[in-house]
Copies of this chain bind each other. A is one copy, B any other.
Amino acid sequence: MKLSINTTGKKTSYMQKCIGIAAHFLVGLLCLMNCCVAAIPKIERWGRYEITLKGLATGNPYTDVVLKATFSNGTDRIAVNGFYDGDGVYKIRFMPAKTGVWNYVTISNSTLLKGKRGSFQCVPATGSNHGMVKVWNTYNFKYDDGKVFYPFGTTAYAWTHQGKDLEQLTLKSLKNAPFNKVRMCVFPKYYNYVTNEPEFYPYQKISSSKNNDGRVKFIWDFKKFDPAFFRHLEKRIDDLNVLGIQADVIIFHPYDKGHWGFDSMGKANDFFYIKYLIARLASFRNVWWSMANEFDYIRSKPRDAWDAYSAAVVTNDPYRHLCSIHNGSVYYDNWKSYFTHVSIQNGSPVEDFGRAVLLRDVYFKPVIYDEVCYEGNLPLRWGNLIGQQMTEAVWQGIIAGTYVTHGETIKTKGDTIFWAKGGVFKGESPARIAFLRNIMEQGPGPLKLADPWKDNQTAQTDSTYYLIYFGKQEQKEWRFSLPKKNGPPAGTKFKVDIIDTWNMTITSLSDVFETAAPNEYRIYDIHDKKVSLSGNAYMALRITQIK
């Protein structure tokens, strides 16, 4: 609005005076509005704005009350669900992705909650806030602000159900570890090595009694959540965020064995839970949705139910967090549009060369091998990789343009297994994974095989940067050789670093290598130079163009 106000006229009529007064009033009003704008809360991009409202605590607020808000900023308009947080308190959370003033208005079937209006100002992100992680370039990930994200995940399924001391210890371990993603279950886990009762339960308990076999039988009110459980979970997700770690939140899992019954609440309760969970968590920028761990082992949910569950997650999530579904022994239809990326359980693809790439080619989505067996000493084969095997798995995935999630199942007397409860990392692979992560983050970008299906060892970002991995091969010499496919022109100069992936050393060679004209399939050095190697296993080469 442009105001043209005459306050300097020599002669002023009554009308002019009136206009003058009105103008003064308007200027004052604008000042007041400016002051208000200045006073509204400031929230960073991808931060969390929370509306707290007082409403009725009678009846069942979880089922009785509908609460939403619409947030708008210019032409952007986003509707989000609110939720009941207990004690008559209702909340609506929102994560703004666009700077500027956001206004909201609430919608509710409760007169106490509806029509509430407010504003906040979204300001640029600072520090380690890079936004949400999204799919980038079909096979890879980037934060909203453009920073590349290489997932180097680990697994701590029930770490948030272990009480404050152990949970703090887990956070301390994660702070010093290379992992930037944690697979973690919402519901507590009842399985080998983790059968403890959690401090918080997701639902209000109607009763618990002992069965004839001495086991506790719980009866829950699946229509009444326990907000304390979710507040605790949220605290832990925020704790991870502070550490720069993505929370790969597992919505359902099969590890219940009839103990709590959270794996078999019935379809209506499942959908009710999904809606509540997402209303609470969607505004956490480091959340990824994992529809399930081992979806096919959850006997109460048939295969064809997962489309509807996945659709419910996507529909309720205004921000389109990353979403996947993790399998037991049978994959889901990972090509379906609910899934932003592919979360695979299968150790075989990253055990040897030529395998991991085969699944990368199928789905046209990023592939994360989220369970490839674990570094550990359990008697079971899924839990007894040695450090070298776990480390090789991560390398095999990386050079094939995929990603691999770590897990540790090392059991020592009186200590917890990180994979189950969290605690302390005792394995040999985390340091090596840190070493690899560092190489990746120093490099120019994600890798892919330069000549897929033919050369399973030579990864590249483009023709200026290669990482060649030898796995278990023990060789004394490497003849400088790159695939012609996607390769550099003749006369390109390279430096070569010898990487010992196990001993974590990088040895830079002083030689300069220069590419000859390619033959049908390969490019050699003009003098056919070779590189001497130690003959150890687990060696790699980094080949970087000299500019």
Nearest to A349 among chain B residues (CB) is B358
Q: Complex Cα distance A3/B253, Å?
A: 69
Which A305-350 residues have a C-beta within 8 angstroms of B? 329-331, 333-335, 346-349
User: Which residues from chain B contact A454 at a C-beta distance below 8 Å?
Assistant: 348, 381
Q: Is A19 an interface residue (CB 8 A)?
A: no
Q: DSSP majority for the A interface?
A: loop
User: Which residues from chain B contact A362 at a C-beta distance below 8 Å?
Assistant: 331, 334, 359, 362
Q: Complex Cα distance A520/B354, Å?
A: 29
> How many Å from the CB of A331 to the closest CB on chain B?
6
Q: Complex Cα distance A357/B354, Å?
A: 13
User: Which residues from chain B contact A357 at a C-beta distance below 8 Å?
Assistant: 348
User: Which residues from chain B contact A346 at a C-beta distance below 8 Å?
Assistant: 358, 361, 453
Which A153-195 residues have a C-beta within 8 angstroms of B? none
Q: Mark A367-387, 1 if CB is under 8 A from B, else 0.
A: 000000000000111000000
Q: Count copies of this chain in the complex.
A: 2
Q: Is A521 an interface residue (CB 8 A)?
A: yes
Q: Is A456 an interface residue (CB 8 A)?
A: yes
Q: Complex Cα distance A333/B352, Å?
A: 26
Say which residue of B335, B347, B456 sits within 8 Å of A348 (CB atoms).
B456
Tell me whether A358 and B358 are in contact (CB under 8 A).
Answer: yes
Q: Is A355 an interface residue (CB 8 A)?
A: yes
Nearest to A330 among chain B residues (CB) is B361
Nearest to A345 among chain B residues (CB) is B453
Say which residue of B335, B381, B520 sits within 8 Å of A333 (CB atoms).
B335
Say which residue of B355, B381, B521 sits within 8 Å of A355 (CB atoms).
B355
Q: Complex Cα distance A354/B359, Å?
A: 13
| A: number of interface residues (CB 8 Å) | 28
Tell me whether A380 and B348 are in contact (CB under 8 A).
Answer: no
Tell me whether B361 and A358 are in contact (CB under 8 A).
Answer: no
Q: Is A351 an interface residue (CB 8 A)?
A: yes
Tell me whether A521 and B348 are in contact (CB under 8 A).
Answer: no
Knowing A358-B358, A362-B359, say if A520 contacts B379 (CB, 8 Å): yes
Q: Complex Cα distance A359/B521, Å?
A: 26
> How many Å from the CB of A535 to the closest CB on chain B?
23
> How many Å from the CB of A372 to the closest CB on chain B?
10
Nearest to A382 among chain B residues (CB) is B454
Nearest to A380 among chain B residues (CB) is B520
> How many Å from the CB of A310 to the closest CB on chain B?
16
Q: Complex Cα distance A520/B454, Å?
A: 37
User: Which residues from chain B contact A452 at a C-beta distance below 8 Å?
Assistant: 329
Say which residue of B335, B348, B358, B453 sits within 8 Å of A453 (CB atoms).
B348
Chain A to chain B contacts (Cβ below 8 Å), 13 pairs: A329-B452, A330-B361, A331-B361, A331-B362, A348-B354, A348-B358, A348-B456, A354-B355, A355-B358, A358-B358, A379-B520, A380-B520, A381-B520
Name 9 extra pairs, CB < 8 A, besides A334-B362, A352-B352, A358-B359. A330-B361, A346-B361, A346-B453, A348-B354, A348-B453, A354-B355, A355-B355, A358-B358, A381-B521
User: What are the nearest 4 A-B pairs in CB distance?
Assistant: A348-B453, A358-B358, A335-B335, A362-B362
